[in-house]
Amino acid sequence: MVESVARRFARISTAERPAAPKILMRRAIVLGASMAGLMAARVISDHAEEVLVIERDGSEESTLPRPGVPQGSQVHALLPAGHAQLDRWFPGFTADVLAAGAVDPAPDTVRNYVNGEFRPPAPAGSIGASLVSTRPFLEHHVRRRTLAIGNIRLVHGRADGIEFSGDRVSAVRYQPAPDAPLVVEPADLVVDATGRSSRLSDWLGAAGWPQPVMRRMPIKLNYASALFKRDPEISDVGISIAQNQAGGGQTPRQGGVLAVEGDRWLVLVAGYGDDRPSRDLEDFRTRCREDFPADFGQIADHGELLGEVVTYHQADSRRRDYDELERFPAGLVVAGDAVASFNPVYGQGMTSAALHASCLSAYLRSDPSLDEPAREYFDQVRVVVDAAWQISTFADLELPHVDGPYPRGYRLVKWIAGLVVQAAAQDPRLNVQFSRVTTMLDHPSALARPQTVLRALRLRLLPS
């Protein structure tokens, strides 16, 4: 019997800790100490005598944004599915980071607005815990836990390429300092976790291997974020998310307020195309006051600004479908944004990276031959990428400046999604189901189940 995509996704996103591991290799090398790279190193450590992580940025002890992550100062979200994976691979992680200052917001301080109207969040406990912090804080704690594992070692340097022996990867080249000679490190398995700017496709092409097609959706997203000192006399908000959707003459915009470590609020405003928030504080305050709910303006106008307004631009969502290549070298996998990166306003990036680690664990625990391409791994990653891509790009296709590509079945899926979203605003059961999909606990196909569609349709037909 063919396993449904929803069941495959459920297996990938499980929070159950796996059984005793088996050593499969002497050395694995992970390129990049991003969330994707750190999580990959963690799961591989159960199967390798040594895991070497090569990271181009500076000290692993810093809680400041890394130079290689220009969006590191912006609002980031760890969705409940990602949170579950961190507790799965690092037991006690939640307790550790809460003790260090991460915020678990009270349910009555969590607010969600769509086109200015308040939408009740899913009932407390129905979609798992929320964990709110800045990205550097979270990465710091993941890195600390990862590097505490005895067989994981991190070195600093810039990855320069990979070497092949026959039909498999055999080594990695990296430069430890700008004027230093290249170092060649042999490897039984290599993980590319170097992010959106991954050069793996070029390395494959230079060695005569097929290159994955880069699929893009131009979103032209513009961010501005600022930190403010938290003050209960100004607002009690823990999380406030606001979406002004396209249509009806509205300008599509996104906003967010997150209570983060250090008794601070991190406030974000975002626009698309020519709607570009600037680094000017008065522009930031005006946008908070005029474009978003009252909490935004109260904090921006009356809160104590910490630092400066910082901006970020992302031109597109993109994906590379390595599973579609007919030939691919053994001993090589790809994770995180190097596979696919999405519109960051939906908060899927770090959670997808954590789920890719779950895919890698399942692959390695299947006792694979490392002399064969890791097709089972890429097939599972495709399930995660398709789920995140559907959630984000179906919403982005509503933006006036986005004209495709439109996926197969777009009109039907759009109609079903719109039906369920509208009904979820008034029906607690559908609200939970919709929230489980948007937080990547369930596959989007859950919204197309007959009982879900019928319930939503029944609510639409009821007299108002």
Q: How high is the pLDDT of residue 77? A: 76
Is residue 117 domain-shared with residue 15, that is, in the same domain?
no
Are residue 124 and residue 223 in the same domain, yes or no? yes
pLDDT at 66 over 70: no
Considering the domain architecture, whether residues 174 and 200 belong to the same structural domain is answered as yes
Which pLDDT belongs to residue 131?
76
Give 317-342 pLDDT, tens digit per residue: 999 999 999 999 999 999 999 999 99
pLDDT tens digits, one per residue of 131-176: 788 999 999 999 999 999 999 999 999 999 999 999 999 999 999 9
Tens of pLDDT, residue by residue over 264-286, are 999 999 999 999 999 999 999 99
Does 396 fall in a domain?
A: no
Domain end residue (candidates: 281, 316, 351): 316
Q: How much is the average pLDDT of 191-211?
A: 97
- In a domain? residue 404: no
Q: Do residues 113 and 145 share a domain?
A: no
> CATH no. for residue 382?
3.50.50.60
Please indicate, yes or no, if residue 326 is contained in any of the structural domains: yes
Same domain, 226 and 268: yes
- Segment 3-9 mean pLDDT: 92
Domain span at 139: 5-98+135-215+317-386
Q: Rounded mean pLDDT of the chain?
A: 91
State yes or no: pLDDT of 8 exceeds 90.
yes
Q: State the total domains in the chain.
A: 3
Least confident of 251-260, 320-329, 400-409: 400-409
Would the pLDDT of 420 be above 60? yes
Residue 46 and residue 174 in one domain: yes
What's the chain look like in SS3? Answer: CCCCHHHHHHHHCCCCCCCCCCCCEEEEEEECCCHHHHHHHHHHCCCEEEEEEEECCCCCCCCCCCCCCCCCCCCCCECHHHHHHHHHHCCCHHHHHHHHCCECCCHHHEEEEECCEEECCCCCCCCCCCEECCHHHHHHHHHHHHHCCCCEEEEECEEEEEEEECCEEEEEEEECCCCCCCEEEECCEEEECCCCCCCHHHHHHHCCCCCCCEEEEEEEEEEEEEEEECCCCCCCCCEEEEEECCECCECCEEEEEEEECCCEEEEEEEEECCCCCCCCHHHHHHHHHHHCCHHHHHHHHHCCEEEEEEEEEEEEEEEECHHHCCCCCECEEECHHHCEECCHHHCCHHHHHHHHHHHHHHHHCCCCCCCCCCHHHHHHHHHHHHHHHHHHHHHHCCCCCCCCCCCCCHHHHHHHHHHHHHHHCCCHHHHHHHHHHHCCCCCHHHHHCHHHHHHHHHHHHCCC
What pLDDT is recorded for position 327? Answer: 97
**pLDDT for res 62:** 53
pLDDT of residue 387: 95
91 shares its domain with 110: no
Among residues 270, 300, 316, the one where a domain terminates is 316
pLDDT band, very low/low/confident/very high, at 75 (cuts 50, 70, 90): low
Would you place residue 69 in the very low, low, confident or very high pLDDT band (cuts 50, 70, 90)? low
